Amino acid sequence: MEKVDFRTRVLTRHLQDSRRLAIAGDISCSPCLSYTPPEASEQPFSFDVTSMRKLMDGHNLEDRDWLFNLMIQSNLFNPKLRGGKVFVVPDYNQSMEQQREMTMKRIQYLLDHGVFQGWLTGKGFEDEMRKLSLLEVIEIFDHSLAIKIGVHFFLWGGAVQFFGTKRHHDKWLNATENYMVKGCFAMTELGHGSNVRGIETITTYDSKSREFVINTPCESAQKYWIGGAANHATHTVVFSQLNIDGKNEGVHAFITQIRDAEGNISPNIRISDCGHKIGLNGVDNGRIWFDNVRIPRENLLNSVADVSPDGKYLSAIKDPDQFFPDRTVRFGAFMAPLTSGRVTIAASAVYSAKISLAIAIRYSLTRRAFSITPNSAEVLLLDYPSHQRRLLPLLAKTYAMSFAANHLKLLYVKRTPQLIKTLHVVSSAFKAILTWHNMRTLQECREACGGQGLKTENRVGQLKGEFDVQSTFEGDNNVLMQQVSKALLAEYVAAKRKNKPFKELGLEHMNKSCPTIPLELTVSTLRSSQFQNDIFCLRERDLLNRFAAEVSKYQAQGESKESAFVASYQLAEDLGRAFSDRAILQTFLEAENNATDAPLKNALGLLRSMYVLVTLDEDAAFLRYGYLTTENAATVRKEVAKLCNEKYYDAELIKCRDGSKSFTKNRLNDNFCDCADGTDEPDCCDGSDEYGGTVLCPNTCIMGGNIVYQRTSYDSVASNLDAINSRKTKPVIKMEDTAQKLSGLKALVFLQVALVIVIVAFRLIRRRKTRRRNSR
Ligand SMILES: Cc1cc2nc3c(=O)[nH]c(=O)nc-3n(C[C@H](O)[C@H](O)[C@H](O)COP(=O)(O)OP(=O)(O)OC[C@H]3O[C@@H](n4cnc5c(N)ncnc54)[C@H](O)[C@@H]3O)c2cc1C
């Protein structure tokens, strides 16, 4: 009973308290937020957007638009009208099986409309660039679709093209382009992924029947993760050790049929499904076993090595393990199609980063959270410096990587035998760095959208699952970066041994004297391309020297070359990044040089500075090895914060009097207070506004009744009448609104005139009374 009494008292007190609070008006509801899409209040850009797009997409703009228009015309791509624009989005409510079937239907639609024309049979620069651009558009729509197409054209088709000879080209390329055959690429095994040389599938030659016999000798030799194998592929390129007369000749590639056109699995082939994945479920990854499968001798892809009808092994390349063309290739030649995969993966990672940043930045330009001062409007997310720091450096990096991807595509398409090594190293580095960047960007964007980031329809969260695999397939990123460092070391050792200048891999800067970094960095130095290039070159040069010294120290202690590499992994990692950052910066500078108009160059200059300074801020190597002093590192950090603000506001800046922030001229008179003290507008005409320094209240202080002044003044008067709501949002100035506000203004003027009349009348009456009093 006592307990009940106690509870009743507590409850009564609670209810009384809350009634008191409500009566006192301490709790009041906020007016509802209204939403305006960011483009509605978008100000004119300071640069030409079309030119920027041209620079970023780089090539085949018309082809890209053509394909996009083709996609929005078909329900297969789920066209949706939103805000007067058509978007295409994947359908997120499908099961894995439905996604796989839908992928095939979309491929059929694209095939019927001639999208793949010339993808394998076309020759030359134009065809190659068109193919790459169209794949990027498909990638923007749906990663699964692009990967399924990529496996068929770039891996299977590429293997036939690069490893095969005329007989293979004649038989397979046209059929592949028309999807008469559906190809896949069986390299990875359960037991061996990154280490391709270790695969266990064995192929022998039967000279009596003139056939190869392919066998999966054990469970770890089953082919695993093979895209297209689970449901649709009719043929595969199978990678296997070739054993001739008891001698292992290393990894070779063979064409094998695994299904007929009706989808029946071929004799002596077993296939099973890899199952549901965290993303990419529109691709049917499968496992394959070969039970002594017999194939004709001609199915060996024989551009590098062949077996004569009577069973003699023929190869111009002696060492099965050698890598680069200047020293003879065998194993390395088999990696060639993977280069095209790395190129397309790197490029598509940048598009994914662009999509997520576009979504997260748009969101941060409309979403408000918390007020800084009582009764003031809630703050736009992108007005928080912390939010700017999270998103805008990623944006700058995405620009940088966009240029890097364009450079890589050109390097690939214009490849010559002399460029194979460079292509291998640059594609490995860029594939790793660009896909890592994408994953980091996706996570940051997901979080920057708060709960909305988790909604599948908003794409960012979904893309994380879809693109995660990019850091693993077609070369695990960490393994690729090791190869980059190894290749740099090989270059270093060769140059030093022969006492010759560096000529490749962008290492020519090592031939010059070592760049010096000023002891005290000024803002103009930090933003100069000379300094930026110098500090990236300095880091690469020094790390390469250190890496070479460490490896040779271990070797001097009796370690093998391979274990010396393994032990020096920290320097190898730092060096791989240093190489990539320097190479990416060079592509940025190239793009900047190609830009002709000044505003575009200015925007690119800011983005480049942001890219470099953020890299300096984030990579501990600059402090660890002393390329930056702690003071300079602090200056860099401050400059990044400044750049974030500048990037956001981009055009001419106005500073708040209290120094809290800056905003652009064109944000004046938008009925929203940009400064924390809330005084930036509309009362600046009395000269009491907050701008310090050089910029003087540009629109509102032009006294004398020009049109801009009148309109903005009326707006500001009208906005006072509607204070709370107008401060919550950034309304677009429309003619109807202006007219409405003007009629509101008439009422106000009328009231003011009435007030003046009342005051004058009151005064006249008082004066008369006073006179009467005095006269008495
Ligand atoms: C969705 C998907 C689709 C795929 N499609 C295909 C396909 O169509 N055809 C095909 O042939 N393959 C395909 N693959 C396989 C893919 O190429 C391999 O998964 C990849 O090469 C990595 O191999 P692994 O999975 O065996 O990982 P591992 O090689 O076992 O690597 C595991 C981890 O060990 C690390 N590691 C490995 N070696 C070293 C080392 N030397 N030093 C330090 N760390 C190391 C790696 O960095 C990684 O983190 C696909 C994979 C997936 C997930």
Which residue's alpha carbon is at the smallest distance from atom 4 of ligand 1? Answer: 225
- Cα angle 252-255-256, degrees, rounded to a multiple of 5: 120
Query: When comparing pLDDT for 24 and 535, which is higher?
Result: 535
Which residue's alpha carbon is at the smallest distance from atom 50 of ligand 1? Answer: 225
Q: What's the confidence (pLDDT) of residue 601?
A: 92
Point out the ligand 1 atom lying closest to the alpha carbon of residue 229.
Answer: 8
Point out the ligand 1 atom lying closest to the alpha carbon of residue 196.
Answer: 21
Given pLDDT bands bounded at 50, 70 and 90, which one contains residue 192?
very high
Between the two ends of the chain, the Cα-to-Cα distance in Å is 82
Given pLDDT bands bounded at 50, 70 and 90, which one contains residue 754?
low
User: Does residue 541 surpass a pLDDT of 80?
Assistant: yes
Given pLDDT bands bounded at 50, 70 and 90, which one contains residue 319?
low
Given pLDDT bands bounded at 50, 70 and 90, which one contains residue 694?
very low
pLDDT digits (tens, 9 = 90+) for 330-375: 455 556 667 999 999 999 999 999 999 999 999 999 999 998 888 7
Q: How far does residue 476's CA lie from ligand 1's centre (Å)?
A: 6
Q: How far does residue 654's CA lie from ligand 1's centre (Å)?
A: 52
CATH fourth-level superfamily of 485-650: Butyryl-CoA Dehydrogenase, subunit A, domain 3 (1.20.140.10)
Q: How far does residue 629's CA lie from ligand 1's centre (Å)?
A: 39
User: Does residue 11 surpass a pLDDT of 70?
Assistant: no
Query: When comparing pLDDT for 232 and 43, which is higher?
Result: 232
User: pTM of this prediction?
Assistant: 0.82
Query: What is the arithmetic mean of pLDDT over 82-89?
Result: 87
User: Does residue 614 surpass a pLDDT of 60?
Assistant: yes
Q: How far does residue 311's CA lie from ligand 1's centre (Å)?
A: 34
Q: How far does residue 481's CA lie from ligand 1's centre (Å)?
A: 14
pLDDT digits (tens, 9 = 90+) for 718-728: 233 233 233 33
Report helix, strand or coil for 697: coil
Point out the ligand 1 atom lying closest to the alpha carbon of residue 239.
Answer: 11
Ligand 1 pocket, mutate which of 99, 196, 225, 563 (most atoms under 8 A from CB) = 225
Q: Which helix (H) or strand (E) holds 148?
A: helix 143-150
The contacts of residue 338 (CB under 8 Å, 6+ apart) are 474, 475
Q: How far does residue 335's CA lie from ligand 1's centre (Å)?
A: 14
Point out the ligand 1 atom lying closest to the alpha carbon of residue 185.
Answer: 9
- What distance in Å separates the CA atoms of residue 96 and residue 276, rounded to the nearest whole number? 7
- Token readout for 378 is 């809630």
Given pLDDT bands bounded at 50, 70 and 90, which one contains residue 742?
very low
Q: How far does residue 475's CA lie from ligand 1's centre (Å)?
A: 7
CATH fourth-level superfamily of 182-337: Butyryl-CoA Dehydrogenase, subunit A, domain 2 (2.40.110.10)
* Residue of 690, 36, 677 lying closest to 375 (CA atoms): 677
Give Cα 31 to chain centroid, integer Å. 38
Given pLDDT bands bounded at 50, 70 and 90, which one contains residue 537?
very high
pLDDT digits (tens, 9 = 90+) for 125-149: 999 999 999 999 999 999 999 999 9
Quick one: DSSP state of residue 29?
P
pLDDT digits (tens, 9 = 90+) for 418-475: 888 999 999 999 999 999 999 999 999 999 999 999 999 999 999 999 999 999 999 9
- Residues having CB closer than 6 A to ligand 1 are 151, 185-188, 193-194, 225-227, 277, 280, 285, 469, 472-474, 476, 478-479
Contact (CB, 8 A) for 381 and 396 = no
Give Cα 236 to chain centroid, integer Å. 32
Query: When comparing pLDDT for 759 and 234, which is higher?
Result: 234
Q: What's the confidence (pLDDT) of residue 179?
A: 98
| Domains of the chain, residue spans | 182-337, 485-650, 653-728
Query: What is the arithmetic mean of pLDDT over 207-228?
Result: 98
Q: How far does residue 715's CA lie from ligand 1's centre (Å)?
A: 62
Q: How far does residue 345's CA lie from ligand 1's centre (Å)?
A: 15
Please give the mean pLDDT across all residues of the chain.
84
- What distance in Å separates the CA atoms of residue 216 and residue 292, rounded to the nearest whole number? 8
Which residue's alpha carbon is at the smallest distance from atom 25 of ligand 1? Answer: 193
Q: What's the confidence (pLDDT) of residue 717?
A: 26
- Among 495-504, 560-569, 659-668, which stretch is predicted with the lowest mean pLDDT? 659-668
Which residue's alpha carbon is at the smallest distance from atom 9 of ligand 1? Answer: 226
Q: What's the confidence (pLDDT) of residue 43?
A: 72
Q: Which residue has the tokens 């899409």?
A: 37
pLDDT digits (tens, 9 = 90+) for 25-68: 444 455 677 777 887 777 778 889 999 999 999 999 999 999 99
- What distance in Å separates the CA atoms of residue 172 and residue 725, rounded to the nearest whole number? 67
User: Does residue 328 surpass a pLDDT of 80?
Assistant: no
Beta bridge partners of 321: none
In percent, how much of the chain has pLDDT > 70? Answer: 76
C-alpha dist (Å) from residue 34 to 359, 455, 727, 730: 19, 21, 11, 9
